């Protein structure tokens, strides 16, 4: 057995314990929160090593900031775990049920997934967040974080495992892959005997690698080439506000927009108003010919590649389209199926857009930035699914569960 297979088998065994752990899961979460607080200094010390290595490796300031832990951030992690404990248990819900003509009583009940794998990048707070959500959902979890955070993650995991062992849980309910080589990630993606689902959280490169290599069931997350379409009938001020918010309030996240499509009849009035807003944050505009005719040479000519890319930066592609249908075609071609929004005053345009755009979240007259578990009221979020199987859009605790049928009879045969 490889090290990961051993880890997988241990997680599988622990998952049988968790399947019926009920409210004791909350005790485990509260024990984790307490232990994180009590061991904050040890975790911060481990984090110092990661920060030092990160600086030497030339990580950018923003990456170093994501990596950094201090008392306040560890307090935030502990509170996050407590918030998960306070959520309703997603397990054991009767989702459906009836009595068949032959007297069999059939119920569809939510049950744990079993063993969940999560691959993520250099954000040590994800280690406690993801572990807490999986534990609450009754599943064992195998985490594999980015190599830049390995010392922090090991320290956090060690604290969490000791905490749950202290109240009688198998420590293998939560585990961390300490080998951060690319090979260990690939092996995790192929651990078919033990993993019930793998959730990659990260950029387009990670997602591609998972689609290419995974043999276990996967929930793809996070890649968002999102669009706002400004309809002929749009309120120009509303459109400019929504576009400014969706592009600049946090450009690095997946629900930020990358392309704006403008109906030709609205372009002359809308484009200057949109540009005026975007100029407040020096957003670079890459536009089609018609956009450049209206806005001038300050607009860089857009290439095919610009419509395909997730800039995740203060850059926006803009295209003038002839009709709503053209906008729908553009979105069908380039969207990653995350979030798209129409700004319109026209009832039938709104209905057509929401019917025809095949994305996880389709908006009318609102910013795409709302695609988020917290905003949608899920209580917590493990990621945003951009696939159509099992979960789509923001995933909370319910999306981390499976179901089974329980059928009670009195000797029925078929």
Distance linking the first and last C-alpha atoms of the chain: 43
Nearest to 339 by CA among 247, 257, 259: 257
Spell out the residues 6+ positions from residue 351 whose beta carbon is closer than 8 angstroms to its own: none
| Minimum distance, C-beta of residue 384 to a copy of itself, in the bound complex (Å) | 11
Minimum CB–partner distance for residue 290 and a copy of itself (Å): 25
Is 95 near a copy of itself (CB under 8 A)? Answer: no
Q: Name the minimum Å distance from CB 346 to a copy of itself.
A: 13
Is residue 269 a contact point for a copy of itself (CB under 8 A)? no
d(CA 372, CA 73): 21
Contact 382, 376 (CB under 8 A): no
Query: 88 phi and psi, to 5 degrees?
Result: -65, 150
Q: What are phi and psi of 338, to 5 degrees?
A: -95, -80
Q: Tell me: does residue 388 bind a copy of itself (CB under 8 A).
A: yes
Q: In this complex, which beta carbon is closest to a copy of itself, that of residue 162 or of residue 370?
A: 370
Residue 11 interacting with a copy of itself (CB under 8 A): no
Residue of 30, 63, 64, 104 that binds a copy of itself (CB under 8 A): 104
Q: Which of 221, 197, 153 is nearest to 371 (CA)?
A: 221
* Residue 401 token pair: 């569960």
Among 154, 155, 218, 260, binds a copy of itself (CB under 8 A): 218
Question: CA 202, 204, 205: angle at the middle one, nearest 5?
Answer: 90
| Tokens at 100, concatenated | 């068949």
Whether residue 210 contacts residue 185, with contact meaning beta carbons closer than 8 Å, is answered with: no
Q: What is the x/- site pattern for a copy of itself, positions 346-385, by CB under 8 A?
A: ----x---xxx-xxxxxxxxxx-xxx---xxx--------
Residue 322 to residue 265: CA distance in whole angstroms: 8
Of positions 6, 20, 49, 323, contacts a copy of itself by CB under 8 A: 20
Q: Is 198 helix (H, G, I), strand (E, B) or coil?
A: strand
Residue (of 349, 143, 172, 159) closest to 265 by Cα position: 349
CB of 400 to a copy of itself, least distance (A): 11
For the window 178-217, what string marks contact with a copy of itself as x by the rule CB under 8 A?
A: --------------x---xx-------------xx-xx-x
User: Sign of dihedral through CA atoms 304, 252, 84, 184?
Assistant: positive
Nearer to a copy of itself, 32 or 135 (CB): 135
Of the candidates 57, 100, 167, 298, which one interacts with a copy of itself according to CB under 8 A? 100
Closest distance of CB 361 from a copy of itself, Å = 4
Binds a copy of itself (CB under 8 A): choice among 122, 163, 242, 380: 242
275-314 positions binding a copy of itself, by CB under 8 A: none
Selected binder of a copy of itself within 88, 167, 323, 405 (CB under 8 A): 405
Please report the beta strands in 266-325, taking only residues with DSSP state E, as ranges in sequence order. 284-287, 300-301, 315-321
Each residue 326-345 as x (binds a copy of itself by CB under 8 A) or -, in order, gives: ------x-------------
Give contact residues for a copy of itself (rule: CB under 8 A). 16, 19-20, 98, 100, 104, 106, 111, 113-114, 192, 196-197, 211-212, 214-215, 217-219, 235, 238, 241-242, 244-246, 249, 332, 350, 354-356, 358-367, 369-371, 375-377, 387-390, 392-393, 402-414
């Amino acid at each position: 057995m490889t090290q990961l297979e051993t880890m997988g088998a241990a997680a599988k065994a622990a998952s049988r314990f968790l399947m019926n752990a009920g409210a004791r899961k909350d005790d485990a979460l509260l024990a984790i929160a307490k232990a994180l607080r009590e061991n904050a200094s040890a975790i911060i010390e481990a984090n110092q090593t990661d920060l030092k290595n990160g600086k030497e490796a030339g990580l950018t300031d923003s990456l170093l900031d994501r990596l950094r832990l201090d008392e306040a951030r560890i307090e935030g992690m502990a509170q996050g775990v407590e918030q998960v404990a306070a959520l309703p248990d997603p397990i054991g819900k009767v989702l459906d049920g009836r009595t068949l003509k032959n007297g069999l009583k059939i119920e569809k009940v939510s049950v744990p997934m079993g063993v969940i794998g999560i691959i993520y990048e250099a954000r040590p707070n994800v280690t406690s967040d993801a572990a807490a959500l999986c534990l609450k959902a009754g599943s064992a979890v195998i985490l594999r974080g980015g190599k830049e955070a390995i010392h922090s993650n090991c320290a956090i995991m060690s604290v969490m495992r000791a905490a749950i062992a202290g109240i009688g849980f198998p420590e293998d309910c939560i585990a961390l892959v300490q080998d951060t080589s690319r090979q260990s990630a690939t092996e995790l993606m192929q651990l078919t005997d033990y993993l019930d689902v793998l959730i990659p959280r990260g950029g387009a490169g990670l997602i591609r690698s998972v689609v290419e290599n995974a043999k276990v069931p996967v929930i793809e997350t996070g890649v968002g080439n999102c669009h706002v379409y400004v309809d002929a009938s749009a309120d120009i001020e509303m459109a400019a506000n929504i576009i400014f918010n969706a592009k600049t309030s946090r450009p690095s996240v997946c629900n930020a927009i990358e392309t704006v499509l403008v109906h030709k009849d609205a372009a002359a009035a809308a484009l200057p108003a949109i540009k005026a807003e975007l100029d407040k944050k020096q957003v670079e505009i890459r536009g089609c010919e018609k956009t450049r005719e209206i806005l001038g040479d300050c607009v860089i000519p857009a290439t095919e590649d610009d419509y395909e890319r997730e800039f995740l930066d203060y850059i926006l592609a803009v295209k003038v389209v002839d009709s709503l249908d053209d906008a729908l075609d553009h979105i069908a071609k380039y969207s990653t199926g995350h979030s798209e929004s129409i700004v319109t005053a026209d009832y039938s345009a709104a209905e057509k857009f929401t019917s025809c755009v095949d994305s996880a979240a389709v908006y009318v007259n609102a910013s795409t930035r709302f695609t988020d578990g917290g905003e949608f009221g899920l209580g917590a979020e493990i990621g945003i699914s951009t696939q159509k199987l099992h979960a789509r859009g923001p995933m909370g605790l319910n999306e981390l569960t499976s179901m089974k049928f329980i059928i009670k009879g009195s000797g029925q045969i078929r």
